[in-house]
Amino acid sequence: MLAYAQGDVRAFEALYARSRGMLYRFILRSVGDRASADELFQETWSRLVAARERYRVEAKFTTWLLQIAHNLIVDTFRRTRPQADPDETEAVFRTLDAPESERPEQYLSEFEQRRRLQLVLDELPPAQREAFLLRVEGGLGLEAIARLTGAGQETVKSRLRYALAKIREKFAE
Amino acid sequence: MSGDENLERELESFLREDDSRLAALYRKLPRPEPDAALDAAVLAMARRAAAAPAPRPAPRRRHWLPLLGAAATVALAVGIAYRLAPQLGNQRGVPAAGGASDAARREEAQAPAATTQAAPPARPAPPAAVTPPVETDRRQLQKVENAAAPAPAPFPGATDATAAAAKAPAPAAAGRVAANREAEMKKSAAAVSESAAAPASMSAPAPAAAAPAEPALRVGTPAGNAFEAPKPAKDRAQDHAYSAAVLRNSRLYPESWIAEIQRLLRAGRREEARQNLELFRSKYPDYRLPEDLRDLP
């Protein structure tokens, strides 16, 4: 990022290639629809580029990127909190579903697990879902999640605990 | 093992391991990515930004600037007040700094003694409210006479106002004005002359300006010495050589001073009489001395 701040476009391209999928999935699974995800994804990079002079080495790039995305998502939720009914959830699931060519019949049971996981993620309250995504998608630890979301570590831990409990409950059905 | 314990163990595993069972399941979810158009848009935006000059961070607000401004304002106000203080003091009757006022202050310090001798019985100093008109009139008169032509300094002992005014080769108009002012001065000065100690302290115009104004003032005032022009530097230096008693006597009318000198001689205080006579001669070189004093060295 420091190299890009000095005008090295190739450095940015490398960063982008490494982080694009993680960021996109974090945003998409947070907001639930591709149109909003595309918009927020582009806005996140735009904010990052505009703020490149303020980047400091001590901040992990992934954390910084996710922080920007988190702020944009929170703003989006404040403007229009998504109210996903089961039909919308199913539509998202279909959107996120892997191509048919990647779904051999022998993996149907696993597919059912993934489907249930996808459904429960959509049903989670935003704060719990975000904490879960930051952990599994962003690879952040408890402390980093707490700092990024502005919540206490115990609060984050509690959110994750509730999220896991709901996932287990969904899988037990 | 209860469900809660399993949940806690699963949570610890989820937080500790990067590849917990739940994380592994999550990774098997579809992994959507931005499409090519979105990638192109983001990369193009980044290239444009890199080509353009980097945005300068917003300048930090300098919090010390308002404080510095306030301090400078206070300093300026104090400076102006310091400059104006003497002027305000003058307006309230405080003598201005300078050589002329120094002389006035010296005379003022000696005034009480002179008053007791010149105008017995002594009266308290006149109220300040009475004296300013005299001073103001005197200054105005000086201006008028200066605007005309400076009259030669009159004989110190002169007592005839008309004669003194006639000596001045001033234009007729200025002479008339001076005469009118002189008449007014006679009235106002007479009111305060008996207690002339304070007026003496106020006779502090610049020497050059005071000389032409003297005739009218001197002749119009019974206590003419009270309105004497400031002494030249030489005279002031001379004054320092005399005792306070001699200097007090120098404020007397010439005739009274002569009488005092004669009294000193009769009392056997010859040295004191000699000093008085010496100063008298320097102040009134043309005065015709009595015979008994002419031979005194």
Determine the pLDDT at residue B76: 93
Q: How far is CA B153 from CA A162, B56, B157, B158, B207, in A?
A: 114, 80, 11, 11, 12
Q: Taking residues B247-267, report their average pLDDT.
A: 87
Closest C-alpha among A46, A60, A41 to residue A1 = A60
- Print the domain residue range for A31: 1-82
Is the sign of the CA dihedral B94, B98, B101, B107 positive or negative? positive
CATH number of the structural domain spanning residue A43? 1.10.1740.10
Residue B149: band (very low, low, confident or very high) from pLDDT cuts 50, 70, 90: very low
Task: Using an 8 Å CB-CB cutoff, list chain B residues near A136.
Answer: 22-23, 26-27
Which residue of A4, A21, A49 is in closest CB contact with B33? A21
Q: Taking residues A95-105, report their average pLDDT.
A: 47
Determine the pLDDT at residue B9: 83
User: Å from B2 to nearest chain A CA?
Assistant: 13
Q: Taking residues B218-230, report their average pLDDT.
A: 43
Which residue of B18, B41, B42 is in closest CB contact with A139? B18
Tokens of B146: 């200066």
Task: Using an 8 Å CB-CB cutoff, list chain B residues near A100.
Answer: none
Higher-confidence position of B4 and B111: B4
**A47 touches A15 (CB < 8 A):** no
Per the domain annotation, does A168 fall within a domain?
Answer: no
The per-residue pLDDT of chain B, averaged, comes to 64
Closest C-alpha among A69, A17, A45 to residue B42 = A45
Q: Taking residues B42-54, report their average pLDDT.
A: 83
Determine the pLDDT at residue A56: 73
Per the domain annotation, does A130 fall within a domain?
Answer: no
**Tens-place pLDDT, residues A23-70:** 999 999 998 888 999 999 999 999 888 887 777 766 688 888 998 999
The listed range with the strongest mean pLDDT (B11-15, B109-113, B166-170, B191-195) is: B11-15
The Cβ of residue B89 has, within 10 Å, a number of other Cβ atoms equal to: 13
The number of angstroms, rounded, from the C-alpha of B263 to the middle of its chain's C-alpha atoms is: 44
B57:A54 CB<8 A:
yes
Which residue of B15, B32, B50 is in closest CB contact with A9? B50
Determine the pLDDT at residue A156: 93
**B241/A100 Cα distance (integer angstroms):** 128
Whether B48 has a pLDDT exceeding 70, the answer reads: yes
For chain B, the 3-state helix, strand and coil shares in percent, each to the nearest 5, are 70, 0, 30
Per the domain annotation, does A137 fall within a domain?
Answer: no
User: Å from B50 to nearest chain A CA?
Assistant: 5
Best of B5, B18, B39 to substitute, by most chain A Cβ atoms within 10 angstroms, is B39
**B278/B257 Cα distance (integer angstroms):** 12
Task: Using an 8 Å CB-CB cutoff, list chain B residues near A20.
Answer: 33-34, 39, 42
Per the domain annotation, does A158 fall within a domain?
Answer: no
**A154/B96 Cα distance (integer angstroms):** 80
Question: What beta strand segments (E) does A27-72 contain?
Answer: none
Phi-psi region of B56 (alpha: psi -120 to 50; beta: other; left: phi over 0): beta
Q: Taking residues A3-26, report their average pLDDT.
A: 88
A53:B47 CB<8 A:
no
Tell me: ipTM over 0.85.
no
**B192/B17 Cα distance (integer angstroms):** 110
Q: Can you give the residue ranges of every domain in chain B?
A: 121-230, 231-297
User: Å from B87 to nearest chain A CA?
Assistant: 58
Task: Using an 8 Å CB-CB cutoff, list chain B residues near A50.
Answer: 49, 55
The Cβ of residue B30 has, within 10 Å, a number of other Cβ atoms equal to: 15
User: Å from B20 to nearest chain A CA?
Assistant: 9
CB burial string A22-34: b at 16+ within 10 A, e below: bbbbbbbbbbbeb
Residue A131: band (very low, low, confident or very high) from pLDDT cuts 50, 70, 90: very high
**A163 touches A131 (CB < 8 A):** yes
Closest C-alpha among B99, B77, B101, B100 to residue B89 = B101
**B257/B235 Cα distance (integer angstroms):** 18
Determine the pLDDT at residue B186: 53
Count of domains observed in chain A: 1
Which residue of A53, A96, A157 is in closest CB contact with B30? A96
**Tens-place pLDDT, residues B175-223:** 454 455 555 555 544 444 444 444 444 443 444 444 444 444 444 344 4
Q: Is A59 helix (H, G, I), strand (E, B) or coil?
A: coil
User: H/E element holding A57?
Assistant: none
**B262/B273 Cα distance (integer angstroms):** 7
Closest C-alpha among A150, A40, A117 to residue B38 = A40
User: Å from B11 to nearest chain A CA?
Assistant: 6
**Tens-place pLDDT, residues B76-104:** 999 998 888 777 666 655 444 444 445 44
Identity of the amino acid at B134: V
Place of tokens 């530097």: B233
**B6/B10 Cα distance (integer angstroms):** 6
- Residue partners of A83: CB distance under 8 A and separation at least 6: none
State which residue of chain B sits closest to A116, comparing Cα positions.
B29
The per-residue pLDDT of chain A, averaged, comes to 81
**Tens-place pLDDT, residues B130-146:** 444 444 445 554 544 45
A141:B25 CB<8 A:
no
**B29 touches A96 (CB < 8 A):** yes
